[in-house]
A and B are shown apart, each in its own frame.
Chain A
Amino acid sequence: MKEIYYDNSATTKVDPRVLQEMLPFFQENFGNPNSAHSSGQSALSAIDDAREKIANYLSCETQEIIFTSGATESNNLAIQGIINSLLQTQDNLHIITSKIEHPSVLEVFKTISKKEGIEAGFVEVDSAGVVKLEKLKELIQPNTVLISIMYANNEVGSIQPIREISEIIKVERDRRGEKGLPIYFHVDAVQAFNYLPCQVNWLGVDFLSFSGHKIFGPKGIGGLFAKRGIKFEPLAFGGHQEYSLRPGTLNVPGIVGLGKAVELVADEQEKNIQKIKKIKSKIAGELEKFENVRFNGKGEFQLPNIINVSFQNAEGESILMLLDMDGVAVSTGSACSSGSLEPSHVLTAMGVQPKWAHGSIRISLGKDNTEVEVNTFIKSLTVAIKKLREMAP
């Protein structure tokens, strides 16, 4: 049985070319890039290479890249780092994010807004899962210092109007003047990184998080773009690596792998998008033929690789399990699959009724998927939905 992997938003398979680049850095060039001897220096030069590849993709300076353990850490570093820095001289800070962020942003906001002197606002989204710009404008206060909005949502793939938001922030920044309170823009670009332009100046962002394992690179490595000159505090202390903002011996094989993965994204983006779009449209066409089905967040504001679809009278986790028995991997936003028994916060924010959220699955494609797989998948899905609907009262 050939496996069909439709869960590329959860993680991706390491590209063989990435793995090849990484391997020498486990045993041959195992040096610590902070050592002055040649073994260390050869590792350092590999780090520099990787940093340059990433800086090229983001159109930023190499000193603006900080390596982390992944996007969760990057998001925490940016958000907590800014707040902890500003709290040294200010109190009563206001921060804004959206209702559909990844938990590594949402939970940070909820946690730090419990602190005295910090208030958080959560901007609404429309039925397609896109932030309402008018609502965002209304939320901005004179003491708003940080806005964190994801580039594209991980569950439904909705693309957020990052450039429009940065325009809104620019207006507010200009209004405050040079001596006024700063207002920063952080973007979690994890899901968008493969498919959307990520030049930081074009986007108008101050911080941007990304991750290795969502772009066919290794797990446990990621990065944060932090615009030069913005002060923020580290989360951990104990070393001068990464300008003391992220102390700890650098994960050399991981960084080398991340660099290669980013280079491949840059080189092959157009080709991959075309291929994935075709597969997506074929799947969507087949899904439309099902009875009592709806798409969550369909349309032009969606990543080319994500389909989120709901079936009435069939529960998402059961669909996932039956597909898995046929070798097809998907994910679900059903309440049954969450520890809290609450349906997906993203679907809920989009106004998707619980009965629809109950039967939702996410199909997230990647560059290794093929058109041939689609028929096998649809056959399995047809059997699964029929079986579950027959079992339902």
Chain B
Amino acid sequence: MQYSKKLLEYFKNPHNQGKIKDADAVGEAGNIKCGDIMKIYIKVKKNQAGEEIIDDIKFETLGCAAAIAASSSLTDLAKGKTLDSAMKITKQDIVEELGGVPLIKQHCSILAQNALKKAIENYLLVSEKAR
């Protein structure tokens, strides 16, 4: 197993790491088997076209280098996207953004994808109720 240079750079200097205190929604995903936990915070606003977009996104992760790097690249990919297109971010998108991920570590990318999905779903639930 060898990590790409890009993955290691993301691991060393992750983007969008931290909490959003007044987040609109939070999503959490964990892998019971390996023990990794990931938490995604999102702040949503409307763009000029009236679509809801991810205005700000941050992550907190307890996990291996691949899990931390995947969290970082996911937040990069999701920032500024509409909720619809953010929902469509796949494991493969994250793996490509990281310049490749060793096969046994690809579940970390799925974890990131799931945490974001949950955050968006939670947001939609809350905004539905508010209506």
Contact residues, B81-115 vs A (CB, 8 A): 104-105, 107-108
Cβ-defined contact, B35 with A335, below 8 A = yes
Residue of A nearest to B35 (CB): A358
Which one of B17, B31, B60, B63 contacts A318 once the chains associate, using CB atoms below 8 Å?
B63
In the complex, what residues of A have CB within 8 A of residue B17's CB? 391
Cβ-defined contact, B104 with A339, below 8 A = yes
Instruction: Please report the C-alpha to C-alpha distance between residue A355 and residue B37 in the assembled complex, in whole angstroms.
Output: 11
Cβ-defined contact, B60 with A321, below 8 A = no
Distance in Å from the Cβ of B70 to the closest Cβ of chain A? Answer: 12
Cβ-defined contact, A342 with B33, below 8 A = yes
Cβ-defined contact, B33 with A392, below 8 A = no
- A52 is an interface residue with CB less than 8 A from chain B: no
Contact residues, B20-57 vs A (CB, 8 A): 28, 31, 33-39
Contact residues, A344-393 vs B (CB, 8 A): 354-355, 357-358, 388, 391-393
**Given A318-B68, A336-B63: A393 in contact with B37 (beta carbons within 8 A):** yes
- B62 is an interface residue with CB less than 8 A from chain A: yes
Distance in Å from the Cβ of A180 to the closest Cβ of chain B? Answer: 46
Fill in one digit per residue for A259-301: 1 if any B CB lies within 8 Å of its CB, else 0.
0000000000000000000000000000000000000000000
Distance in Å from the Cβ of A348 to the closest Cβ of chain B? Answer: 12
Cβ-defined contact, A337 with B62, below 8 A = no
- A1 is an interface residue with CB less than 8 A from chain B: no
**Given A334-B64, A391-B14, A393-B60: A321 in contact with B8 (beta carbons within 8 A):** yes
**Given A358-B35, A392-B37: A317 in contact with B28 (beta carbons within 8 A):** no
In the complex, what residues of B have CB within 8 A of residue A317's CB? 64-65
Cβ-defined contact, A391 with B61, below 8 A = yes
Cβ-defined contact, A391 with B68, below 8 A = yes
In the complex, what residues of B have CB within 8 A of residue A336's CB? 34-36, 63-64, 66-67, 105, 108
Cβ-defined contact, B64 with A318, below 8 A = yes
Cβ-defined contact, B28 with A393, below 8 A = yes
- B123 is an interface residue with CB less than 8 A from chain A: no
- A313 is an interface residue with CB less than 8 A from chain B: yes
In the complex, what residues of A have CB within 8 A of residue B37's CB? 392-393
Instruction: Please report the C-alpha to C-alpha distance between residue A360 and residue B14 in the assembled complex, in whole angstroms.
Output: 23
- B5 is an interface residue with CB less than 8 A from chain A: no
- A121 is an interface residue with CB less than 8 A from chain B: no
Interface centre among A315, A334, A343, A354 (most CB of B within 10 A): A315
Cβ-defined contact, A341 with B65, below 8 A = no
Distance in Å from the Cβ of A62 to the closest Cβ of chain B? Answer: 42
On chain A, which size bracket covers the interface?
Answer: 20 to 34
Interface centre among A316, A322, A343, A392 (most CB of B within 10 A): A392
- B6 is an interface residue with CB less than 8 A from chain A: no
Fill in one digit per residue for A295-333: 1 if any B CB lies within 8 Å of its CB, else 0.
000000000000000000111111001100100000000
Cβ-defined contact, B11 with A321, below 8 A = yes
In the complex, what residues of B have CB within 8 A of residue A313's CB? 62
Residue of B nearest to A312 (CB): B62
In the complex, what residues of A have CB within 8 A of residue B60's CB? 391-393
Cβ-defined contact, B35 with A315, below 8 A = yes
In the complex, what residues of A have CB within 8 A of residue B33's CB? 335, 341-342
**Given A318-B68, A325-B12, A336-B67: A393 in contact with B61 (beta carbons within 8 A):** yes
In the complex, what residues of B have CB within 8 A of residue A322's CB? 12
In the complex, what residues of B have CB within 8 A of residue A358's CB? 34-35, 62
Cβ-defined contact, B28 with A337, below 8 A = no
Interface centre among B33, B37, B65 (most CB of A within 10 A): B65
Residue of B nearest to A316 (CB): B64
**Given A391-B17, A392-B60, A393-B28: A321 in contact with B35 (beta carbons within 8 A):** no
Instruction: Please report the C-alpha to C-alpha distance between residue A315 and residue B64 in the assembled complex, in whole angstroms.
Output: 6
Instruction: Please report the C-alpha to C-alpha distance between residue A59 and residue B91 in the assembled complex, in whole angstroms.
Output: 59
In the complex, what residues of B have CB within 8 A of residue A334's CB? 35, 64
Cβ-defined contact, A393 with B8, below 8 A = no
In the complex, what residues of A have CB within 8 A of residue B105's CB? 336
Instruction: Please report the C-alpha to C-alpha distance between residue A339 and residue B103 in the assembled complex, in whole angstroms.
Output: 9
Instruction: Please report the C-alpha to C-alpha distance between residue A351 and residue B65 in the assembled complex, in whole angstroms.
Output: 26
Instruction: Please report the C-alpha to C-alpha distance between residue A131 and residue B7 in the assembled complex, in whole angstroms.
Output: 41
Distance in Å from the Cβ of B8 to the closest Cβ of chain A? Answer: 7
Residue of B nearest to A339 (CB): B104
Cβ-defined contact, B35 with A392, below 8 A = no
Distance in Å from the Cβ of B1 to the closest Cβ of chain A? Answer: 8
Cβ-defined contact, B62 with A393, below 8 A = yes
Q: Can you give 24 contacting A-B residue pairs, CB < 8 Å?
A: A315-B35, A315-B62, A315-B63, A315-B67, A316-B64, A317-B65, A321-B65, A334-B35, A334-B64, A336-B35, A336-B64, A336-B67, A336-B108, A341-B31, A341-B33, A342-B33, A343-B35, A357-B35, A391-B61, A392-B37, A392-B60, A393-B28, A393-B39, A393-B60
Closest 8 CB pairs of A and B: A336-B64, A392-B62, A358-B35, A393-B60, A393-B39, A317-B64, A335-B34, A341-B34
